A = this chain, B = another copy of it.
Amino acid sequence: MPLDELAVIDRYFRPLAGEGAFGLTDDAARLDVPPDADLVVTTDMIAGSVHFLPSDPPRMIAQKALRVNLSDLAAKGARPLSYVMSLGISAETGKAWLADFTRGLKEDQQRFGISLLGGDTIFMLGGPLVSITAFGFAPKGRMVHRFGGRPGDVLFVSGRIGEGASGLALLKGEPGPWDALPARRKEALKRRYRVPEPRVALAPALAAFASAAMDISDGLIGDCDKLTAASGCSASIEAESVPLPEGLAGAERALLARLMTSGDDYEILAAVPPAMAEAFQRAGGQAGVPVAPIGTLKEGQGPVQVLYKGRILKLSARAYVHGRGGKGK
């Protein structure tokens, strides 16, 4: 039997609704903003074959859709609060799919302390497709932007760069050094591609110390180009300082270049004034999100310079473009 929109809302989405959602029985929601906070809004849509594999478990699709948005909020120094979601599915989508999808949302709502504020479910050809607009609070006046970085600021990244790309290569069966990793590590990398780890816990440290920040979704180098362009400066990055996936550290040049220009890491790139660099690194560690210095913002304009063994590393591609087989510039 084809699904009915009202029955779907009632059965699967109503249990996810939070304060201001009026049990999803109204046409709109109310979002209350405390006087000491700035409301931060971000939106991201993901579609099958572009941002996830059609065979991915529904729970993971749900969590990816949510987490790419939470990652943006975290990068802006904002604590996540709530979200609205539009879901496009085929009318033949089964109840088991919806049950697993909403189980994924529920798990993440509990994990990140957020709730569903409203949504829309449509039955369409193709799909699944998930569009989420997420809301968060930054301390008043402390929202972190891509602009605001200044020459001399230390560039940090959270976590390890290239885990998303390694996981995708493993899922696609593409040969590479990841094949030599232990089975447990391989599984972790695949999961990492399917379900990013938004650095929500780093948000307070970013709001407190960062002059500029963004999440890395389209490759470290290309995204760093964007941060420096917005900040009106350039940067240099020491490739040897970039933390790589466990077991792939010390990668040879071509692999290193690839890991630094591939998508789906959802780590944070932050510029921090030198006087605050130590405090930022300590705060990251205390929040359970290790951050590593990888370079410096510089005077001038133009693409980020990547140094490898003291020489400039030439990169054929700088950014990852989803849905284009990764080709970008």
A34-66 CB contacts (< 8 Å) to partner B: 35, 38-47, 49-51
Contact between chains at B45 and A28 (CB < 8 Å): no
**How distant is A192 from chain B, measured CB to nearest CB, in Å?**
20
Contact between chains at A25 and B147 (CB < 8 Å): yes
Contact between chains at A41 and B45 (CB < 8 Å): no
Contact between chains at B118 and A25 (CB < 8 Å): no
Chain A interface residue count, CB cutoff 8 Å, equals 62
Contact between chains at B28 and A78 (CB < 8 Å): yes
Nearest B residue to A76 via CB reads: B28
A266-293 CB contacts (< 8 Å) to partner B: none
Cβ of A256 within 8 Å of any chain B Cβ, yes or no, is no
**How distant is A203 from chain B, measured CB to nearest CB, in Å?**
12
A249 to B145, CA, bound (A): 57
Contact between chains at A73 and B28 (CB < 8 Å): yes
Nearest B residue to A131 via CB reads: B131
Which residues of chain B have C-beta atoms less than 8 A from A78's C-beta?
28
Q: Which 3 pairs show the lowest CB-CB distances between chains A and B? A: A45-B86, A131-B131, A28-B42
Interface residues of A (CB under 8 A from B): 2, 4-5, 22, 25-33, 35, 38-47, 49-51, 72-73, 75-76, 78, 84-86, 88, 91, 117-120, 122-126, 129, 131, 133, 136, 143, 145-147, 214-215, 226, 230, 321-324
